[in-house]
Amino acid sequence: LDGNNEVHPGFIHRRLRTHEKREMQKEILSILGLPHRPRPHPPHGKYNSAPLFMLDLYNTISNEEKSRVEGIVDRYEPMQTTPSPSLATYQESAFLNDADMVMSFVNLGENELFLSGQRRHHKEFKFNLSQIPEGEAVTAAEFRLYKECVSRAFRNDTFLVKVYQVVKEHPHREADFFLLERRLWASEEGWLEFDITATSNLWVMSPAHNLGLQVSVETSGAVSSETGRSIGSKEAGLAGRDGALEKQPFMVAFFKVSEVHIRSAR
């Protein structure tokens, strides 16, 4: 239809045959740069934290584009869309403005282990970064964990949340780690963001080095006398896979195209 809702004389107005429809779908997929139609299996048919976060980014971009077209304000303001993990910082908006692609990764493994010899709890997380399109370079990456306010027992305590990049695994002893850490109050609630840009770059360049992340929590209390005691992530209020959908941990990476994509003739 043209602007006046009249069928343009040059337009083919007939129902497409099945194979024509399939060809048309293939062409549109090709425009989107996809070799085939994805077949995802989102759990429960509902969005968890990662799609909600990404939808928040999408709305931010769309509103910006709309404003630009309409000549209104061209400045980013973070959206408050609780309980989804909203954009929290202006630094993230800079990543977003600079990115050609943003991708969130599903957490593939989440085992909580207690090493009795070292009296240490830790939780493992794994992300598959092998499906990133060629020519995309990571400009920033974050590991996001949701922390809920914990029970009275710890209310006035602080915790030390340690996120380790597993560098090398050994059969009979503990793995080698690269450490990122964060000190926070037990009563704090919200998303914890850990910068894992260097780690993700390594994982993209060398998938064999992708041995995941480990998270452990210990008390570092101003009040508690048990400073340095390892506690379970649930005790510390860290939401896991079995928690609320919108609070599940995930990883997000921002990409910039480093190569010119040329569509090949089919």
Partner 1 sequence: SAGGGKRRQQNRNRSTQPQDGSRGLGPAVADYNSSDQKTACRRHELFVSFRELGWQDWIIAPEGYAANYCDGECSFPLNAHMNATNHAIVQTLVHLMNPENVPKPCCAPTKLHAISVLYFDDNSNVILKKYKNMVVRACGCH
Helices 90-98 and 49-70: crossing angle in degrees, nearest 10, is: 70
DSSP string spanning 218-232? EE--SS-S-TT-EE-
Q: Does 104 bind partner 1 (CB under 8 A)?
A: yes
Q: Which of 210, 159, 209, 221 is nearest to 188 (CA)?
A: 159
In the structure encoding, which two tokens stand for residue 207, read together? 């998938």
Q: Which residue has the tokens 């425009």?
A: 31
Q: Does 87 bind partner 1 (CB under 8 A)?
A: no
23, 58, 109, 111: which one binds partner 1 (CB under 8 A)? 58
Size of the site for partner 1 (CB under 8 A): 39
In the structure encoding, which two tokens stand for residue 71, read together? 């000549």
Part in contact with partner 1 (CB under 8 A); list of ranges 39-47, 75-83, 111-119, 207-215 = 39-47
Task: List 182's β-bridge partners, or say none.
Answer: 161
Residue 103 Cβ vs partner 1, minimum distance, rounded to whole Å: 5
Q: Does 101 bind partner 1 (CB under 8 A)?
A: yes
Q: Does 18 bind partner 1 (CB under 8 A)?
A: no
Residue 233 Cβ vs partner 1, minimum distance, rounded to whole Å: 23
Part in contact with partner 1 (CB under 8 A); list of ranges 26-34, 76-84, 176-184, 228-236 = 26-34
Computed from CA positions of residues 44, 45, 51, 53, in that sequence, does the dihedral angle turn out positive or negative?
Answer: negative
Residue 154 Cβ vs partner 1, minimum distance, rounded to whole Å: 34
Residue 30 Cβ vs partner 1, minimum distance, rounded to whole Å: 12
Residue 8 Cβ vs partner 1, minimum distance, rounded to whole Å: 6
x/- contact string, 132-171, with partner 1 (CB under 8 A)?
----------------------------------------
Is 137 exposed, middle or buried, given 0-12, 13-18 or 19+ CB atoms closer than 10 A?
Answer: middle
Residue 19 Cβ vs partner 1, minimum distance, rounded to whole Å: 15
Taking residue 67's Cβ as centre, other Cβ atoms within 10 Å add up to: 13
79, 94, 106, 137: which one binds partner 1 (CB under 8 A)? 106
Part in contact with partner 1 (CB under 8 A); list of ranges 73-81, 100-108, 158-166, 233-241 = 100-108
Q: Does 260 bind partner 1 (CB under 8 A)?
A: no
Task: List 145's β-bridge partners, or say none.
Answer: 192
Q: Are 180 and 166 in contact (CB under 8 A)?
A: no
Q: Which residues contact 188 (CB under 8 A, 6 or more apart)?
A: 147, 149
What does the DSSP 8-state code read for residue 259?
A: S
Site residues (vs partner 1, CB under 8 A) = 1-3, 8, 10-11, 25, 28, 31-33, 37-43, 47, 50-51, 54-55, 57-58, 61-62, 65, 69, 99-106, 128, 131
